[in-house]
Structure 1
Amino acid sequence: MLQNGRWTTAPVRSELDGDVLRVEAHEGSDTWRVTSYGFVHDTEHALLEPFGTEEAVEVSFVLDFTAQFDQAGVFLRVSATEWIKAGVELSDGVPQVGAVVTHGHSDWSVAPVPEWLGRVVTVRASRSGDAVTVRAKAAGEPFRLVRVAHLDAGAEVSAGLFCCAPTRAGFEVAYTGYSRGPADASLHP
C-alpha cells in the first residue's frame, strides 16, 4: 500500500497490520483555505505519490468516526493552494460523503450517509482531461457520483490517502484497500 508514497504531514503513527494500514492523526490536523472561516490549514496527513492523467485512485477504510470533523478519503495535490480532498467527514453528528475543491479558496459539498457508519467505504478519484470525477460507496453498494471538479490537464499531481482530526486526539483510520488503475471510461454508465 503506497510503498513509494510521502506524507504531506507525518501522522502520530502509521503501521501496517497485515493488509490494514492504521494511521493515527494529530489533534488539530486539517486542510482548508480561507472560504467562510477565514483561516488556512495545511496539516493534513496525506500519503501521496505521483498521479498521471487518465488515471484513477481508490482508497477504502472503515467508517467508525466519532468526533466532529473526523475525516478520511482520497487526496489529490498540485500545491498548497490547489488540491482536492474527497471522502467521508463526520459533521454535526452525521457521516457526510463529500469533497473539498481548492483553487486558491476552498469549497465544500456534502451529502449525509448515516447508513455507512460501521462499514467499509471506498472513495474513487478518476482524472481524465481537465476533470476529476469522484465516486464513493459503502461495501455491497454500487458507486455513486459525488463530484466532478476541474483540475488543469497539464498539472503535476500527487494522489493517495488522507485523514485529519481537527477536534481531537486519538483518531485512527483503518485503511483496508488502496489501488491505482486507468481512468473511468466515461462520466455516465
Structure 2
Amino acid sequence: MNDQRVLDWSEATWLNPPLRTESDGRDLVVTTRDRSDFWRTTHYGFERDNGHALLTGLAVGTAVEVTFRARLDQPYDQAGAMVRVDEQNWIKTGVELTDGLPHLGAVVTRGHSDWSLAPVPEWADRPVTVRVSRGRDAVTIRARCGSEPWRTVRLAPLAGHLTASAGPYCCSPEREGLRVQFSQFTVGPADRALHARLAG
C-alpha cells in the first residue's frame, strides 16, 4: 500500500461543489452546504444526490486513499471516500456521526442504498484514512485511524466494465457548515489480496 502518488486537489473534479474550500497548498478544508447528502430511497423514502465529492478516475487495478479530520458534532455529519459510477450506483465510506457517536461504515448503492456501520468513539477528532481498492469485480474498503493497523470495512461488487471515479467526499444532512480538513489524496496500485496482511 506504499506505492501511492499524491494528487494535487486540482487534478480531480467536484461533483456538487461545496459551500467553500480553502487550501494552504497542502491541505484542503471543505465547508458543506445545507442538507447535503448521498442516499437513495431505502427506509427514509427520499433521494439525495447533492453531497460533495472530489473525484478522479478509478480503473480496475487501482486504489485511492483519502485522509481527513473533522469535528462531527451534528447528526449524520460524515466524511470519507466515494466511489461513483452514476447517481444510482455508488459507494460512500468513512466516518459518520449517528446515535451520538462516530461510526465507521459504508453505504453501497445499486438503485437502493444499504448501510453497514460500527462505532469507533476512539476515532473522534483524529486523522482517519480510508482506502478503496478496485479489483476486476469488486471494491475492497479499508480504514485506519492515524498509524493504527488497517481494518477491513467492506467488500462490495463493482463490475469491471463500468467506468468509475473516486475521491474525498463529505456531507451534512441536517445542517450547513461542517468543516472537513482533507490532508491526503493519493492514487496507486490496487491491493493484491482481500486480507490486509497479504495485500501490500
Same fold (TM > 0.5): yes
The CA deviation string for residues 85-136 of structure 1, in whole angstroms up to 9 with x for no partner, is 1100011110000000000000000000000012100000000011100000
Consecutive unaligned residues of structure 2, counting only runs of 5 or more, are 1-7
Q: CA RMSD in A?
A: 0.9
Aligned counterpart for 1:3 among listed residues 10, 24, 46: 10
Find the counterpart in structure 2 of residue 183 from structure 1: 190
Aligned counterpart for 2:149 among listed residues 100, 118, 142: 142
Answering whether residue 122 of structure 2 is matched by residue 112 of structure 1, we say no
Answering whether residue 64 of structure 2 is matched by residue 57 of structure 1, we say yes
Find the counterpart in structure 2 of residue 165 from structure 1: 172
The CA deviation string for residues 41-61 of structure 1, in whole angstroms up to 9 with x for no partner, is 000100111111110000001
Q: Structure 1 CA distance, aligned partners of 2:95 and 2:70? A: 8
TM-score, normalization by structure 2: 0.92
SS at match of 1:115: helix
Find the counterpart in structure 1 of residue 90 from structure 2: 83
**Residue 63 of structure 1 contacts residue 116 of structure 1 at CA under 8 Å; is this kept in 2?**
no
Aligned counterpart for 1:121 among listed residues 106, 125, 128: 128
- Which amino acid in the other structure matches residue 11 of structure 2? N
Give the superposition deviation at 1:185. Answer: 1.2
**Residue 45 of structure 1 contacts residue 162 of structure 1 at CA under 8 Å; is this kept in 2?**
yes
Find the counterpart in structure 1 of residue 4 from structure 2: none
Which protein is richer in strand relative to its size?
Answer: 1
TM-score, normalization by structure 1: 0.97
Identity score, percent: 50
**Residue 84 of structure 1 contacts residue 101 of structure 1 at CA under 8 Å; is this kept in 2?**
yes
Q: Alignment length, in residue pairs? A: 189
Give the superposition deviation at 1:164. Answer: 0.3
Q: Structure 1 CA distance, aligned partners of 2:99 and 2:70? A: 16
Give the superposition deviation at 1:3. Answer: 1.9
**Residue 12 of structure 2 contacts residue 56 of structure 2 at CA under 8 Å; is this kept in 1?**
yes
Consecutive unaligned residues of structure 1, counting only runs of 5 or more, are none
Q: Structure 2 CA distance, aligned partners of 1:55 and 1:99? A: 19
- Which amino acid in the other structure matches residue 134 of structure 2? R
